[in-house]
A and B are shown apart, each in its own frame.
Chain A
């Protein structure tokens, strides 16, 4: 797989914890920026231009919660770094970092990504 990303590629974020799936949902149905805070870098699956359903099926093998999607452009627009970091168990594993040296996204970046995120699995009740 190409290590670089085009702005049009989708990234998919599993929203943990699956057993309390509505913990990050706001009253207005959007997702909180708190779901995008991770000091180790924000883990996502790169889409590699697969169909949404194919990605969901693949993620469902490892995860039961909800999934949101973003475009690489949403990350580059706020100067976040998208790093392709495949693992033995997940060839699509990718991380979004705040900058070249800081894995944690800034508050501003988190808020921008939360606003851009599209909920692709049904919103929890």
Chain B
């Protein structure tokens, strides 16, 4: 980007227009910061398209996340309705305390997990990223949850975290890198 005064532009308008046509962006400072930019139509169209793609991508991500949030709410209602021995092998029913805790977490999580019940009376959050790493967070009534990660190369990591939406959000953000 180059910066040029109004008077220079006026005196050499063809040269500046040619520069812009060849891909240069020219900033023209004006009083009260009423600055303008000179650029080619091609550059303008590129910017406009990129901006629309970004907006569409954000809209799509938001829509997918909203759909998953609705799906998770429905799934949590199903888990709430599962009675003792739901697995045919004596699994416990899920406590109201745990269901409420998970519902509260899901409302505050920036990225929705896939959720699954376990016969241990816990609810497992799962995330899979584009690198093919896999992360599970097992939520129980305890204040601490175990995080289990299997990386794409088979390397496994386990750690304990305190169960708060803030900490899970941080952990998930780090997982998605």
**A: which residues have CB within 8 A of B?**
14, 16-17, 20, 23-24, 26-28, 32-35, 37-40, 43, 63, 104, 107-108, 111
Instruction: Return chain B residues, CB-CB under 8 Å to A34.
Output: 116-118, 124, 126
Interface of A is mostly: loop
Q: Is A17 touching B86 in the complex (CB atoms < 8 A)?
A: yes
The interface size of chain B toward A, counting residues with CB under 8 Å, comes to 27
Query: Are A108 and B78 closer than 8 Å at their CB atoms?
Result: no
**Which residues of chain B from 61 to 99 have any CB-CB distance to chain A below 8 Å in the complex?**
75, 78-79, 82, 86-91
Determine whether B119 belongs to the interface, using a CB cutoff of 8 Å to chain A.
Answer: yes
A24 to B91, CA, bound (A): 15
Counting from the closest, the 3 A-B pairs by CB-CB distance are: A34-B116, A37-B118, A32-B116
Collect the chain A residues with CB atoms within 8 Å of residue B136's CB.
33, 107, 111
Is B101's beta carbon under 8 Å from chain A? no
Q: Is B158 an interface residue (CB 8 A)?
A: yes
Could you tell me if B120 and A39 are in contact, using CB atoms closer than 8 angstroms? yes
B119 closest partner in A (C-beta): A38
7 A/B residue pairs, CB under 8 Å, sorted by A:
A17-B87, A28-B128, A34-B118, A37-B119, A38-B89, A39-B119, A107-B138
Closest residue on chain A to residue B125 by CB atoms: A34
Contact B119 A26 (CB under 8 A): no
User: Would you call B175 an interface residue if the criterion is a C-beta within 8 Å of the partner chain's C-beta atoms?
Assistant: no
Given pairs A17-B86, A33-B136, A38-B91, 7 additional interface contacts (CB within 8 A): A32-B114, A33-B126, A37-B118, A38-B89, A63-B88, A107-B136, A111-B134
Is B156 an interface position by the 8 A CB rule? yes
Q: How far is the CB of A63 from chain B (nearest CB, A)?
A: 8
Decide yes or no: A107 and B120 within 8 Å by CB, A16-B88, A23-B75 being known contacts.
no
Q: A33-B136, A34-B124 are in contact. Are A26 and B118 (CB under 8 A)?
A: no
Nearest Cβ on chain A to B134's Cβ, whole angstroms: 7
| Residues B148 and A107 in contact, CB atoms below 8 Å apart | yes
User: Does chain A have a CB within 8 A of B150?
Assistant: yes
Chain A residues near B86: list those with CB within 8 A: 16-17
Q: Which residues of A sit under 8 angstroms from B88, Cβ to Cβ?
A: 14, 16, 43, 63
A26 touches B150 (CB 8 A): no
- Interface centre among B82, B88, B128, B150, by most chain A C-beta atoms within 10 angstroms, is B88
Pair B114/A26 contact, Cβ less than 8 Å: yes
Query: Are A16 and B126 neighbours in the complex by a CB distance under 8 Å?
Result: no
Is B116's CB under 8 angstroms from A17's CB? no
**Inter-chain contact A108/B150, CB cutoff 8 Å:** yes
Q: Are B119 and A27 in contact (CB under 8 A)?
A: no
User: When the two chains form their complex, are residues B150 and A23 in contact, meaning their CB atoms are under 8 A apart?
Assistant: no
